[in-house]
Structure 1
Amino acid sequence: MGCTASELVSWLPRALPDAELATDVTGQRNVAIWVGGSMELRWNTLPPRRIALLEIPQLQVSFTYEGLDDEARYRIQKCFDLQTHRGGG
């Protein structure tokens, strides 16, 4: 993802509106809990992407779902993607 860890954490309440959220003290993991299941997000900071003079921060983000069926995972991931999408061409 093209963002910083602090930006990602600030977007989570909007991106996962029905979840109880908990970020660990290292700031590299978040657990979102719903009735019946959870999703764990882990991220690592990558070197920024440079395009000429433009520098874009990067995170490698992984998602692990537990106890949620395919429909719930799809719905959650779609909302997350739409709410964290930045404008562009």
Structure 2
Amino acid sequence: MQASYAEAFQRDMGCTEAEWLGWLPRAVGQHPMQREGSSAHITIGHGRLHLHWQVMPPRAIAQIRLPVLRMHFQFEGINAPERYTFMRHFDLTTQRGGG
């Protein structure tokens, strides 16, 4: 998690598109969502979040191959505290377990 989130940013997630699509409904919570191909539009209060993802080549570490999904986030009409609240839930929901 971060201390703040910009109106637009991208990040790489270590998951397949199928895994991501399984997580997406929980990650957006109660916010209405419309999905179109490799994009989703989420209504958050009076604003919107536009998500777009792209499958990237796997990341190789020695003999291990890890999936990479590049995510683009674009918030519109959502202030910094609202972005933080949404992304805190999003990040906790999509976070993988650790040691």
* TM-score of Structure 1 vs Structure 2, range by shorter chain: 0.7 to 0.9
Match of 2:26 in 1: 14
Structure 2 residue aligned with 1:57, among 55, 67, 75?
A: 67
Does residue 33 of the first structure (1) align with residue 57 of the second (2)? no
How big is the alpha-carbon RMSD for the aligned residues of Structure 1 and Structure 2?
Answer: 1.3
Bigger relative contact order (CA 8 A; separation at least 6): 2
TM-score, with structure 2 as normaliser: 0.80
1:16 CA displacement: 1.2
User: Quick one: distance in 2 between partners of 1:40 and 1:34?
Assistant: 11
1:59 CA displacement: 0.8
Match of 2:5 in 1: none
TM-score, with structure 1 as normaliser: 0.87
Which one-letter code corresponds to 1:51 in the other structure?
I
1:40–1:65: 8 Å Cα contact kept in structure 2?
A: yes
What is the percent sequence identity of the aligned residues? 39
Which one-letter code corresponds to 1:18 in the other structure?
Q
Unaligned runs of 5+ in 2: 1-12
Match of 2:85 in 1: 75
1:19–1:32: 8 Å Cα contact kept in structure 2?
A: yes
1:23 CA displacement: 1.2
Unaligned runs of 5+ in 1: none
Structure 2 residue aligned with 1:43, among 53, 59, 77?
A: 53
User: Quick one: distance in 2 between partners of 1:88 and 1:51?
Assistant: 18
1:35 CA displacement: 2.8
